[in-house]
Amino acid sequence: MQRTLFDKIWDFHRVAQRADGRDLIYIDRHVLHELHAHHAFAQLQKQGRPVRRADLTFAVQDHTVATKPGRDDETNPSGSAFIKAMREGCRNNGIRLFDVDDPEQGISHVVAPELGIVLPGATHAVPDSHASTVGGVGALAFGCGTSELAHILATQVMALKRPKAMRVQLEGRLAAGVGAKDVALRIIAEIGVAGARGHVVEYGGAAVRTMPIEQRMTLCNLNIEMGGRSGLVAPDDATFAWLAQRPFAPQGAEWDSALRYWRRLTSDADASFDREVRLDCATLEPQITWGTDPSQVVGISGRVPDPATLEESRRAAAKSAFGYMGLTPGTPLVGLPIDRVFIGSCTNSRLPDLQVAADLVRGRHVADGVVAMVVPGSTSVKRDAEAAGLDRVFRAAGFFWGESGCSMCAGGNGDRGEPGERCVSTTNRNFENRQGPKVRTHLASPATAAASAIAGHIADARQLAPGAL
């Protein structure tokens, strides 16, 4: 029988079928963060249940940590209790924690792949909906709640109903200045915020094959914004080259065996998918959201849509978004004055994201009245960026250069905008109040965010600095 990549990983990891019909899927790598883990530690302690495989479990401090240089446990007072509970829970259970001051601390979805903790063909779980970011290296990852987190700690399996399989074929070659963020926003615009619900999505096609691994992670990161259960890209030579020598990846002879296995991790030629979507990427321009859900997207040269031109099911949401966003139909996106720019989050905080932004702002300055922040996705990314001099470029241009963490993506660490501010953000959710009460978020790529910071209004990076892209 012809099988998809998802089928192959699922079938290998299927331990048993439970009495209630759910498959028990073994989780090879489990990564916790401080916002939810303390509940699970307390639950297991109360039930007298040990952690089954502490050696396959890792933990990070990311959601509540301050980004201010020189930060410690107390810099964000409301994060302090979470940080300390995480430290204690990890100590009690023998779990490797990338703590606030660890040289490899960072956002779970950035840290796990960059250290080689997640691998092609491996299963992965995080109590966070953006778990599938690591699908970019060919891992099958599931976001989960707190009860499921406790379940995985106690059993090392998840009890899941088998999702359906979907393929998104990305054809053509991306133009200069257009990247994975733009592609993902366009897919979500096409199929909607629930378009992939119940499905594991495999991203394929020429546009994906030429994407660097970091961009594949951006693509898979946004999978949840169209409701997908998980998303992944079949690994290839670029993946293997990217993972080689990473500290937690197999080494030596074991690497060679792994590589032989990983080369077979593709969907069979005639494997059938429950759903297929195609997108021609050759004509794509940079994309940006105008509304309050990630499907409310237009090309950067576009205008806020007239609801009459939208599908009927999307009109009510559009009308409600106009009021929140302070926009009227027909307004061009380019030229909208902005107050804030955020470059960071599990979506766009890896080194190439920061390089693109730095190349655009080099020798320029953030516009008057705009507060602009760059928050690297991990302390390793921060160190590498500093070695390349990017921190100096950003600081000279008037950006804040922070310590690594989730920061303004969900504002759980106190980094937020002020009411009424318009913010161009490289994050994943433009929900009402997410980046601060009444903050108006426009999701876009690092290039668009950087260009907008310089211009003081939403801008097309290709016009600001065609040579830099």
Partner 1 sequence: MQPFTAQTGIAAPLIKDDINTDQIAPILHARGLKEDYRAMLFHRARRREDGSEDPDFVLNKPQFRNAAILVTGENFGAGSSRESAVWSMLANGIRVIVAKSFADIYRENCLQNGLLPVVLGAQLGDQFIARVVAVDGGAPFTVDLLTQRISGPGGSDIAFEIPAADRTRLLEGLDDIGLSLKHVDEIASWEARAKAAQPWLQSARDSR
Using CB under 8 A as the binding rule, the residues of this chain from 347 to 386 that contact partner 1 are none
Of 91 and 197, the one with the shorter C-beta distance to partner 1 is 197
**Choice from 3, 49, 164, 365 touching partner 1 (CB under 8 A):** 49
Q: Which range in 74-82, 173-181, 202-210, 442-450 contacts partner 1 by CB under 8 A?
A: 74-82
Per rule CB under 8 A, is residue 290 in the interface with partner 1? Answer: no
**Choice from 68, 87, 102, 155 touching partner 1 (CB under 8 A):** 155
- Tell me the C-alpha to C-alpha distance, in Å, between residue 36 and each of 31, 43, 64, 134: 11, 12, 11, 20
**Choice from 32, 107, 110, 122 touching partner 1 (CB under 8 A):** 122
Could you say which residues in the range 385-424 bind partner 1, by CB under 8 A? 410-412, 414, 416
Of 226, 212, 148, nearest to 184 by C-alpha is 226
Q: Would you give the DSSP letter of residue 404?
A: S
Of 226 and 372, the one with the shorter C-beta distance to partner 1 is 226
Compute the Cα dihedral for 304, 305, 307, 312 and give only its sign: negative
Please measure the distance between the N-terminal and C-terminal CA atoms of the chain and give it in whole angstroms: 45
DSSP calls for 174-232: PPTT--HHHHHHHHHHHH-TTTTBTEEEEEESHHHHTS-HHHHHHHHHGGGGGTBSEEE
Of 120 and 286, the one with the shorter C-beta distance to partner 1 is 120
| Strand pairing report for 275-280 and 157-160 | unpaired
Of 122 and 455, the one with the shorter C-beta distance to partner 1 is 122
Structure tokens at 228: 């997908």
CB 201 within 8 A of CB 228: yes
Could you say which residues in the range 216-255 bind partner 1, by CB under 8 A? 224, 227, 229, 247-251, 254
Could you say which residues in the range 302-341 bind partner 1, by CB under 8 A? 313, 316-317
- Angstrom distance (rounded) from CA 293 to CA 86: 32
Of 47 and 210, the one with the shorter C-beta distance to partner 1 is 47
Of 145 and 172, the one with the shorter C-beta distance to partner 1 is 145
CB 218 within 8 A of CB 180: yes
Per rule CB under 8 A, is residue 263 in the interface with partner 1? Answer: no
Of 51, 265, 278, nearest to 140 by C-alpha is 265
Per rule CB under 8 A, is residue 113 in the interface with partner 1? Answer: no
Of 198 and 302, the one with the shorter C-beta distance to partner 1 is 198
Q: At closest approach, how far in Å is the CB of 466 from partner 1? A: 36
Per rule CB under 8 A, is residue 85 in the interface with partner 1? Answer: yes
